[in-house]
Amino acid sequence: MSIAIAVENVCKNYGTFRALDHVSLKIHSGEFFALLGPNGAGKTTLIHTIAGLAIADSGAVHVMGNHVMAGYRLARRQLGVVPQELVFDPFFTVREILNIQSGYYGLTDNSRWIDEIIVRLGLEDKANVNMRALSGGMKRRVMVAQALVHKPPVIILDEPTAGVDVELRQSLWDFIQQLNREGHTIVLTTHYLEEAEALCNRIALLKQGRIIALDSMQNLISTMAMGYILRLRMHPDDLPSNFQKIQVGCHNGCFDLKIDSYTQIEPILAQLRQTGVQIQEMQLLQPDLEDVFVNMMNRSHFETQ
């Protein structure tokens, strides 16, 4: 499998502050990849370094085999970036902006693709409206369209759904998933962890400029060894004393019991039945990406990956 983005031992300093600390990762072509971390973790700095907007102090970055500095023309042609900030030119309409953006890449007849992304991003009614007259959500749609206008094989989305409505979020992900199925590599940063969990194949967690975890979502969850929560509603509503040592809470009249594996469920139910307890409702809660994220960010030290 070919490599879409290769980041090799990259460091980036701003004065005495180290924003990226020996970051290395490889993102495969066609992958849907999440780059997650708290504010200030270095996500946007890493994106700027990949896009050539920031120059690494050491290390190297390649996009589709092209060095982002030595081969910047080819590297940037392979890349489309949706920035976190709303950046727009107030003097042009939506369609004019997309035509101008096409011209930056030497595309003189790009109207068919522009028409398609306008429709797919719900901009038909705004195509001939001046940018300054658009709402924040509509401006963000245009920024996504700009990043896609030259059909880049690698697309980076930095908080693309921040502050947008549910309808746009769903239509945007439908479109991006289609592009991914067609072979485009997608890199996503988001604070909506459920988006990353639903969409991405692999995840990198950043903290203080370092990658502290890099794996598939399922592997990250399983290796955290956080166990499961067995949630039970019982009659009578009284937990036998021998189970109180594994009780971790109550939720709407249910008892939450901490277990390590599925094999513990049947022995627990059998013991409860022996005490005359009737199980009225049962739910097994598995750890999710949010649990992993909080657990990793709360750790006081880094682990070598």
Residue 58 to residue 120: CA distance in whole angstroms: 40
Residue 122: strand, helix, or coil: coil
| Domain identity same for 262 and 148 | no
Edge-first strand listing for the sheet containing 79-82: 79-82, 154-158, 185-189, 32-36, 202-207, 210-216
Residue 42 to residue 19: CA distance in whole angstroms: 6
Greater model confidence, 305 or 8 = 8
Residue 117 predicted with pLDDT over 80: yes
pTM: 0.79
Question: Which domain CATH number covers 159?
Answer: 3.40.50.300
Residue 271 to residue 226: CA distance in whole angstroms: 24
| Domain identity same for 138 and 38 | yes
| Domain identity same for 138 and 281 | no
Q: Domain range spanning residue 8?
A: 3-221
| Domain identity same for 173 and 260 | no
| Domain identity same for 188 and 50 | yes
| Domain identity same for 142 and 245 | no
Residue 21 to residue 24: CA distance in whole angstroms: 9
Alpha-carbon distances, residue 248 vs 99, 237, 283, 290 (angstroms): 58, 16, 15, 18
| Domain identity same for 167 and 242 | no
| Domain identity same for 59 and 144 | yes
Nearest C-alpha neighbor of 159 from the set 184, 179, 178, 136: 136
Instruction: Give the pLDDT confidence of 263-297 residue by residue, as tens digits.
Output: 999 999 999 989 888 999 999 887 777 777 777 77
In the block, which residue shows the tokens 């239509």? Answer: 171
Percent of the chain with pLDDT over 90: 58
Residue 223 predicted with pLDDT over 90: no
| Domain identity same for 119 and 139 | yes
Residue 180: strand, helix, or coil: helix
